[in-house]
Amino acid sequence: MFKYNYQKAVSREELQKIQSDVQKAYLTLITKQGAGNDFLGWLKWPFEYDKEEYTRIKAAAKKIQSDSECLVVIGIGGSYLGAKAVLSALSSYFDKGNKKVEIIFAGCNLSANYQYELLEYLRNKEFSINVISKSGTTTEPAIAFNFLKNLLIEKYGEAEANQRIYATTDKARGALKGEANQKGYQTFVIPDDIGGRYSVFTAVGLLPIAAAGYDIDELMQGARDSSLAAYSKPYLDNPALLYAATRKVLLDKQKNVEILVTYEPKLSFISEWWKQLFGESEGKDQKGIFPASLVYSTDLHSMGQFVQEGARIMSETVLKVSSSEYDLMLKATKENADGLNYLAGKTLTYVCEQATEGTILAHLDGGVPNAEIEISKIDEYHLGYLLYFFMFSCGVYCYLLGVNPFNQPGVESYKKNMFALLGKPGYEELQKELLARKGN
Ligand code: PA5
């Protein structure tokens, strides 16, 4: 089950008013007429994925399970957030000792502490590497790969190390592809027409998820069903179109921040993935809603005050899960020393539901429009459904806003400066200019 409920955020009339604009944006997306239309391979990918490669992904996952305690997944942005989101959502909070393979992410920061501690942690572990980079040239993963590959070679020798490296990258271009060809790494392709943040259903997401032991068939089935719904349902019954439309109505009312809220900490990386998807897709040409995320009730004790009474710039979308895998019942005690006897016989899920309802009503009173996305449970199928829903909706919404959902020109600015400051050949002029600005 998958539901989107806009009623506490915008009115049906407001949505009807922009129906033709939404319809136009939807057609622009599915007929591939808009800006960035050479990056729409993800639209039909859940149906038209490379079946031969899919079989290889499953085989590689099995091999990794048979010879590795850990798989280090190296990537940044769209090259790691999808797998991280799905794995965080599906994993137990505490290690039950039943993990097929421990998935560890690297190359998504430049922390020397992280890199050092990871190398130390892996020293006595059997491990493999899945290095993921579409361009094959991104600095953060390239540096992490450099360190980790050296450790792998130190442990296993070059020939075996090369068998333990899986490269997910462009089919022909980039330094990583060149190295993979030269060393004989097994490679998986990020298709030309699928950008990083839309790539979770390619090998980018599938190999780490399958290696961890989760069911990628179900994930893909969820994406297919979500795609069918997005393509075929009429406007007022179509969650992907309604979510896009609701965001546009809210933005037009100066709700410039959208907070994706979850009461399930396991879903916090779904929010991180969502922030990248929307932030990088819509945040350009001085436009867009700033995507933020909070985990309740934890953050009600830190950010709740602002949401309730601070600047009235935000809306909330609550990501609800209607069933919990486990539940616990509160019991009465003789002394009632903690004053909780009034909850005797109630479950923790019930308490959480009342917290959710109470918070929504309070925030509505505080002028925060509130929408809800509901999935019946956290499993591969519903996560596949949810992620595809967000991607489709993001495409429609960005066309509604008039921006290209598939480029990220702004990301280059920091890279240029970093290269110049690091003294990368070709950046000499910029280096001089930046050093002068720094006062050197
Ligand atoms: O969504 C995107 O395109 C980006 O977030 C990229 O995934 C990210 O910058 C990493 O790029 P690459 O996969 O080329 O290393």
Q: Tell me the pLDDT tens digit for each residue of 404-421.
A: 999 998 888 888 899 999
**Residues catalogued as catalytic:** 280, 301, 415
* CA 60/CA 384 separation, integer angstroms: 21
Q: Report CA torsion sign: 324, 325, 331, 337.
A: negative
pLDDT range class, residue 440, cuts 50, 70, 90: low
Q: 115 in ligand 1 pocket by Cβ < 6 Å?
A: no
* CA 63/CA 269 separation, integer angstroms: 27
The pLDDT mean for the chain works out to: 96
Q: 138 in ligand 1 pocket by Cβ < 6 Å?
A: yes
* CA 133/CA 139 separation, integer angstroms: 10
The DSSP secondary-structure symbol of 38 reads G
Answer yes or no: is pLDDT of 73 > 90. Answer: yes
159 sits in the region (left: phi over 0; alpha: psi -120 to 50; else beta) called alpha
Q: With pLDDT > 70 as the criterion, what percentage of the chain qualifies?
A: 100
Ligand 1, atom nearest to 411 Cα: 9
For residue 321, the SS3 value is: strand
For residue 234, the SS3 value is: coil
Give long-range contacts, CB 8 A cutoff, 24+ apart: 411-415.
411/280, 415/139
Cβ neighbour number for residue 59 with a 10 Å cutoff: 12
Cβ neighbour number for residue 391 with a 10 Å cutoff: 27
Would you state the structure tokens that stand for residue 239, as one six-digit string? 């969650």
> What's the pTM value of the predicted model, to 2 decimals?
0.96
Ligand 1, atom nearest to 190 Cα: 13
pLDDT range class, residue 98, cuts 50, 70, 90: confident
Per-residue model confidence (pLDDT) at position 142: 96
Per-residue model confidence (pLDDT) at position 51: 97
State the average pLDDT over residues 251-265.
Answer: 97
CA 205 / ligand 1 centre spacing (Å): 13
